[in-house]
Amino acid sequence: MAKSVRDQLRWNGTLPDPRDTPGTKGKAQARKDLASIAPKLADLQERLFANAKVGGDRKVLLLLQGMDASGKDGTVKHVVGQVNPAGCRITSFGKPTKEELAHDFLWRTTNALPAAGQIGVFNRSQYEDVLVVRVHELVPRATWSRRYARINAWESRAVKSGASVVKVFLHISPDEQKQRLLERIDNPTKHWKVGTADIPERHRWADYQAAYLGALTRCSTDVAPWYVVPADRKWYRDWAVSSLLLETLSDLELGWPTPDGLDLKAMRKELVSEAASS
Ligand code: AMP
Ligand code: MG
């Protein structure tokens, strides 16, 4: 049997080449596969939503991390965009507000957890508190180093409450980031995406990679493993994240529920006779 995409991308201790495309037979085939994945994803999401209407507790949390221009926004648009937005809860985590800073670092992510039936999407996440915070020494080492265990416990609680957690590291190369940042600078419709910190942050590449390695190593657990998606090729990224979601939703084996106490036969009869008498 072919290895699942989850098995191929699960963090195994080494970073792949960001240009790799494991599990695919090239761009044309991946695009074709994606066209057949989309309706399946939409169907499964609707089942997830339907099951919550009758008391099901299942939900999915798709968490996206990656360097600037690694494709987090593109993934939300192209992958999450394949399903009904009514069943999604998308949250982007930027620099914490004053209010957020006054709380524990897990406060804002706890507030953004998906409800039963929803696909929650985190564009950046609690991991920023062991990534940017570590790189810039925004808190002492003793503080951020305690956070890995806190994050693991938090994710384990989310899983116990019915969430399937899909953590994706969009892994790009410095060369690809350079190209994407240049494209933004050269395209007036992309200037709004450019930040003054983009280049100084890029110069800390090695520090960020070390911080990512820490997060991958310390927080890839059985209940919530990390998946590393080589992300230099956008078509691969979209195929891979869509496939991870599809496998995760398929595992839930969701049927189409009928609410208790519905007498469909009687309702049908009433409607039919109404049509006949008017
Ligand atoms: P963007 O994704 O381009 O909108 O940028 C969001 C910015 O917020 C990034 O530079 C993040 O590193 C930063 N950010 C997110 N979470 C935190 C955090 N907990 N502490 C400090 N900066 C953060
Ligand atoms: Mg940015």
CB under 8 Å to 162, separation ≥6 — which residues? 56, 57, 58, 59, 116
Task: Look up residue 39 and give its two tokens.
Answer: 């309706």
pLDDT tens, 83-120?
999 999 999 999 999 999 999 999 999 999 999 999 99
| Ligand closest to CA 92 | 1
Instruction: Pick the residue whose CA is nearest to atom 20 on ligand 1.
Output: 95
Number of structural domains found in the chain: 1
Taking the model in full, what pTM does it have?
0.97
Q: Name the band, by pLDDT with cuts 50, 70 and 90, for residue 277.
A: low
* Enclosing domain of residue 157: 5-277
pLDDT at 35: 97
Q: How far apart are CA 45 and CA 58, in angstroms?
A: 11
How far is the C-alpha of 64 from the C-alpha of 6, rounded, in Å? 15
Cα of 28 vs centre of ligand 2, distance in Å, is 30
Q: How far is the CA of 108 from the centre of ligand 1 (A)?
A: 13
Distances from the Cα of 182 to the Cα of 42, 45, 81, 230, angstroms: 35, 37, 26, 20
Ligand nearest to the backbone CA of 66? 1
In tens, the pLDDT along 189-232 reads: 999 999 999 999 999 999 999 999 999 999 999 999 999 999 99
Nearest to 223 by CA among 271, 185, 276, 166: 166
With a Cβ cut-off of 6 Å, ligand 1 is lined by 93-96, 124, 128-129, 132-133, 195
Ligand sitting nearest the alpha carbon of 127: 1
> From the alpha carbon of 123, which atom of ligand 1 is closest?
2
CATH number, domain with residue 71: 3.40.50.300
